[in-house]
Structure 1
Amino acid sequence: MHDIGLKMPYFLSATLTFKPSQSFILGIVIGIIIIAVILMVRRYIAATSKLRKIESKQETFKNHYYQFLDVLPVGILGLSQSGEILLRNYSVKLLTGIEIQGLKDIKDMNCFTESQLEWLIQQIKQPGPNREMQVQIKTTTGIKMLLISVNVPFDQDPDLPSAYVLIQDQTKEKSMSALLQQQDKIEKMNQLSAGVVHELKNPLSSIKGYIQMLDRRLEDPSFVKLAMSVLPAEIDRLIIMVESMLNYAKPNALKKEIFDLKKLVEDVSRFFKIEMSSHRIQLKTELEDTLVFSSVNGIRQVLINMLFNAVEAMPAGGIIEISTKQVGNRVVLLVHDNGSGMTQDQLERLVEPYYTTKENGSGMGIPVSNQIISELGGQLGFESVLGAGTTVIIEIPSVSSEEGI
């Protein structure tokens, strides 16, 4: 009988063995890897620390930047192309009276009229600098005159606003300009007083003569009939002259209407007869019958300013020529003198406020005239040759037959 014994399982085992030189190299490699990991971790920590410092500095700069924007006296709006407000400063609130917290879109600025908002929305979509619009708004502190300027960079940065709107307060400047303009008017009225008196004297003399003869010829039907036709006409003539000068003297808005430019030029020219005669100046006119759509008072003021400039340019006397001509849909009014003329530098600076070459000049006559003509949809230009004279070119919108006139 044989003994049956249990066999123990047989396990294979493998043992890695390294030579001493190989173990040393492996140790070096592992050490290098550990050192590299430690260096990377340190660099990461250092970079993270620097990044945090940069972010902190950026946040500080950002806060200082916004504080700087808030102390500027100019209102600033940064907009997207769709009109979303991305940036605003505190001066926007001070100038417009609108609460800027929660202000999200340009359309929410209810200080502007619908047409003004449409203009702004249109302008922020067109690249280019300094498109300007003057507006008058009512705030809790009173009426303000604001200059709105739109600037759209040609090169757009996706991280920055695509358009910037600047809001400037021009209330004080407008008030000072209006005061100087009024003073200038009064001075010119004083200079024209002799011509005004002369023009008033003629109808007054006629009226006086008829009144003196009334008691002697009251029973004469033909004289009474003549007097009843002449006297009202002379009185109307007086009223028109007085009203025209009163309208010139007082501040008023530029109300547009249709009127005869030839008649206006003739009326203004009459008041200058005494002034020109005392300066040995001859006035020549070549006027067409032209209807214009503009402001009577505005054009009268501009013409008076230009005629005074022409008279002052000819201290030794000379000739002033006034003419009109139709050019397309505009009437061109020309005032030419053969006086001292101007240099190119003087010509380029004519429309600058307060610029003058006269000893007692205000420097406001031409800038104000330029503004008036611009607001009336026209253009004011000058041509001059030193020692040969100056021509003033005033372009005014005409009234065409298509408009039913």
Structure 2
Amino acid sequence: MDEAFRRQDEIGSDEREGRRRLLLLVLVRAGVFAVLLLAIWLIDAPGGTMPERRHPGALWGLAGAVIAFTVAYTVRLRRPLSRSGLHAQIQILYDVLLASILVTLTGGVESPMTFLYALPVISATFFLGRRGVFWVAGLCCLILGALFLLENRGVLALGRPPPAGLRVAYMLMLNFSVFLGVAFLSGMLGEQLRRTGRELRKTEKSLERVQALHRDIVTSLKSGLVALDSEGRVSLVNPVAARILGAEREEALGRPAVEILPALKPLLSQSPGARQDGSLRTEVNHRRTTDGREIPVGLTLSPLFHPDGTSAGMLIHMQDLTEFRAMEAVAKRAEQMAALGEMAAVVAHEIRNPLGSISGSVQMLEQSGRLDEAERKLLGIARRETERLSSLVSDFLLFARPRPPGLVETDLGDIVADTVEAFRASRGEDAPDIRIQPGEARARVDPDQFRQVLWNLLQNAADAVGPGGRVDIDCRREASWAILEVRDDGPGIPAEDRQRIFDPFFTTKEKGSGLGLAIVSRIAEAHGGRVEYLPGDGRGSRFRVRFLGVGP
């Protein structure tokens, strides 16, 4: 297919080149004929020579025909030609005919215009090739020989006695030699010109392919590439680099690089000798002008050299390290959680057993009938704090050493309804107004862990809105994801705290453990999904958890 398109392109290019040459031939003919008419007019003027050989009426009629032919063909050549070779042959035959008429009108054997036959011979060089040139030269010799013989025999009367036979033979030999000599030289030069033209077009095509390959490589790079000239101005920037820098490609070209990436200034100010032995690798922070966001950018600066070894500028390879830094943070957090998990086993063993003993002892004391009201109140406080501490240890263990999810295909709507009912019962009169929006979603989840995710989100929402506040739950399908969304109309989360809400032990509550949302995040990641916080419309908060959906 590509070869067919390339061939079609070459045919179109040849057709345009043929039209250009034909137009040039038509205009050159008109110019030459205008000069000849001026010369003939000067000869025919008072004081001119050989007025008996002139035919003013025929000459001016011929001039009109040439003008009409030139105008008609100029208009025709504005449109594509299906057979440019045929049109070239018509033009050359027309030139031969025109030369024959002018020779006849200006003296025949003694005409000074016989050189005009050399013009179609030269024209044929550009259209017909070497063989065609000799064919045209032979045609010119044949026609001129016929004209001279007709004049010698008296058939062609030009207003003077017929020329002598020796004179005719001499003039024919002279002109034939000129025509054939011109044919030989022009054919040889034309062949060389065509060969050079073919090589030039081949070179141009190769250059275009190399340029296209270069452009495709630079455009397809997954990292940023910027080239600077010797003055530090941007001479090349690929789309990825433009996106990293936050600048349009057209705006970046020609500008000093330090205006687009100010962090380059200390790097470019180093002496060239400090970098010629190798590339300079570093990392900078860049604030993009498009969104004002500061991102980490990895840079590799490499010097560019001309073939003679002189400096040609600088090549800068850049990469947005935002995702890389995020992956590093995830890996670091995973290491911390692994260490935390080891410590959790020790904590659970050292704390839970004593807590169980304390809780059991308090319960036994509460059953004693010899306690007064103050003592019972103190024991109630001790029991509640023991239960709170036990719950905190359970959350800590759930976060630090979560069990692998046991995935089963589940209708999330059923779990949502059961969990909401249990949550309302646990809150009693302090429960907010919880509304479940209609929707269906099926996913492969661990039902207990999904219930834990929803419970923690409901607990956060209820604490935020208080009794009488509103909480909406939406469970739906989006593409390949099953979405659980919990919205509330509370005060929302301050912007400065939003980046830390999923960190363990971060809380803004007076008695919060800071593990609720961290547990939600861990469970979502274990299911191959994620949780994200979205500000509410005007106020409130939205937490959206994605799980891998199943079914249509």
Query: TM-score, normalising length from structure 1?
Result: 0.39
Structure with the bigger percentage of helix: 2
- Give the TM-score normalised by the residue count of structure 2: 0.29
Instruction: Please identify which structure carries the higher strand content.
Output: 1
